[in-house]
Chains A and B, each alone.
Chain A
Amino acid sequence: MKDFAYVRAGDVTTALRAIAAEPGAAFIGGGTNLVDLMRQDIERPGTVIDITTLPLDEIEETADGGVRVGALVRNSHLAAHPLIRTRYPVLSQAILTGASAQLRNMATVGGNLLQRTRCLYFYDGAAACNKRRPGSGCDALEGFNRNHAILGASDACVATHPSDMCVALAALDATVEVESVRGTRRIPLVDFHRLPGDTPDVETAIAADELVTAVELPASPIAVNSRYRKVRDRASYAFALVSVAAALEVRDGTVAGVRLALGGVAAKPWRAREAERILLDAPATEESFRRAAAAELASATGLSQNAFKIELARRAIVATLSRLLTDGSAA
């Protein structure tokens, strides 16, 4: 790992001024992704600004019945929090299926949002990767692409966003609060990550000098009946081939409300708006679920090794909604 200067920020203002003064600097929270990337020489910050002692580690109920989660809350603490377990079970489940207990104890909410793809070619300095070195090409297109995107990809990049937490946040209409010396702004989670297009190196909607300070969950009665289903190559401690975050409200046999998002399929958590549109006011039956899943995946494209994920995603959607219909949530 290349040497760097280390600065510990005592308060948010100091952290924001430090990064504004040095564009090549990086914030470090839990370090579970950044330290790894620095060791691989993929991230080479001249200065690392430690933000772990900033007062951004609270989970609070908001006046309108939602929940505000500080950016430095550890993943494990968020998953175990009573408010999340009872009101947003899909979020607890999603976090608990991600990484390992040790990593969840370290990783922060803000860092989870900003983690980078696990594409092997992104990690391999000798490989072509438009995300790591714009214009160099993409070795995943004809390489090992089992874990890669089937939705929203481009010829420039087929990488996926590896987060489970973000898939649940996408389904829950979460908002990300970011702050810089220029002020504070809010970005809907579904707009926080970008599809690759011609610039896969630009991954999120935040600027280099902005700090994620919180994630806000709106009050969501439908979220009480929610679940997360993750399909992967081993039973635990593996990234998703496909995952589904779903919330369902049924009244008199009809879908009165639905939230659906997919993970492991795109460069961002994929909010399944088309499926939601078809399901709303439709009979709450497996037949409806199948129709909605097929419509959502209609535009999906497989690569040499991952075309199976299209059918897998359809089945995972149907299975998750069916489970919610028969058993309810895991709360």
Chain B
Amino acid sequence: MVDVQLRVNGTIETLDLRPRVSLLDALREHLGLTGTKKGCDQGACGACTVLVDGERINSCLTLAVQYTGRSITTIEGVAGGGEPHPLQTAFIRNDGFQCGYCTSGQICSAIGMLAEHAAGAPSAVTEHLASRAELTDVEIRERMSGNLCRCGAYNGIADAIGEVAAAAAVQEVTETGAVRRGSAAGAARQATTAEAAR
């Protein structure tokens, strides 16, 4: 058994685990945070996506012990100040799910994706690697391809994310005065603020 200390949604959690326990199982079975889902348990579906220090990962393909001292955000921790995260609201408004099993992973993944885009990261469909890509529907779908939805709610999922990205772009224009269409820095900032507030 090994001591593992995780900061989960702002709370320090100390666990005594077998080294083979995945971060996903630590969250679900040992901390009772069942919002993060186990789909394939082999990195093929994205249902287990969580944020580690703001970056999205598949929690199924990890050993929890490797993440000792790191800051984990699960779906239970994305809302802030009693309000749902803008992506949660947008998923409801746009029918971004049917059964809902992939939704926690989709939302955590989208938060990470918007932060990556805001930081200027390219994707496989980015035409010019050196410049920041506009967050078009094609870009959103490529960047979210690690999250499968067996109900096929992709149109609603992509619309929900596009809506939040567009709102964030408007917010960024208002804040900085610079016209950067398709930017999602605002959404990323909002997510970070929600986490920091906890």
CB of B49 within 8 A of CB of A102, answer: yes
Residues of A1-59 whose CB lies within 8 A of B:
1-6, 28, 31-32, 35-36, 38-39, 48, 50, 52
* A-B contacts at CB below 8 angstroms, number: 115
Task: Say how far A260's CB is from chain B's closest CB, in angstroms.
Answer: 20
Task: Say how far A9's CB is from chain B's closest CB, in angstroms.
Answer: 12
Task: Say how far B165's CB is from chain A's closest CB, in angstroms.
Answer: 15
| Given known A-B contacts A3-B18, A101-B113, A31 and B129 have beta carbons under 8 A apart | no
Chain A residues closer than 8 Å to B56, beta-carbon distance: 101-102, 105
B128-171 interface mask toward A, CB cutoff 8 Å, 1 = contact, 0 = none?
11100000000001111111000000000000000000000000
Residues of A131-163 whose CB lies within 8 A of B:
none
Task: Say how far A124's CB is from chain B's closest CB, in angstroms.
Answer: 13
CB of B146 within 8 A of CB of A100, answer: yes
Q: Is A96 an interface residue (CB 8 A)?
A: yes
Binds B, one of A85-93, A198-206, A312-320: A85-93
A81-B186 Cα distance, complex, nearest whole Å: 23
Q: Is A298 an interface residue (CB 8 A)?
A: no
Q: Is A300 an interface residue (CB 8 A)?
A: no
Residues of A89-111 whose CB lies within 8 A of B:
89, 92-93, 96-97, 99-103, 105-106
Chain B residues closer than 8 Å to A305, beta-carbon distance: none
Chain A residues closer than 8 Å to B143, beta-carbon distance: 101
Secondary structure of the B contact surface, majority rule: loop
A331-B120 Cα distance, complex, nearest whole Å: 14
CB of A331 within 8 A of CB of B122, answer: no
CB of B19 within 8 A of CB of A6, answer: yes
Chain B residues closer than 8 Å to A31, beta-carbon distance: 61-63, 66
Residues of A232-281 whose CB lies within 8 A of B:
235-237
Chain B residues closer than 8 Å to A76, beta-carbon distance: 116, 121
Question: How many residues of chain B have a CB within 8 Å of chain A?
Answer: 41
Residues of B167-189 whose CB lies within 8 A of A:
none
A164-207 interface mask toward B, CB cutoff 8 Å, 1 = contact, 0 = none?
00000000000000000000000000000000000000000000
Binds A, one of B28-36, B40-48, B71-79, B95-103: B40-48
A104-B114 Cα distance, complex, nearest whole Å: 16
Q: Is B83 an interface residue (CB 8 A)?
A: no
Task: Say how far B146's CB is from chain A's closest CB, in angstroms.
Answer: 2
Residue of A nearest to B41 (CB): A39
Residues of B90-117 whose CB lies within 8 A of A:
109, 112-113, 116
Chain B contact residues, CB within 8 Å of chain A: 2, 18-20, 22, 41-43, 46, 49, 55-58, 61-63, 65-66, 109, 112-113, 116, 119-124, 126-130, 141-147
Besides A92-B129, A93-B124, 10 other CB < 8 A contacts? A5-B19, A28-B63, A32-B61, A35-B61, A100-B147, A101-B113, A101-B116, A102-B43, A106-B58, A237-B145
Contacts A/B (CB < 8 Å), 9 sampled: A6-B19, A6-B65, A76-B116, A85-B130, A100-B58, A102-B146, A103-B58, A105-B55, A330-B127
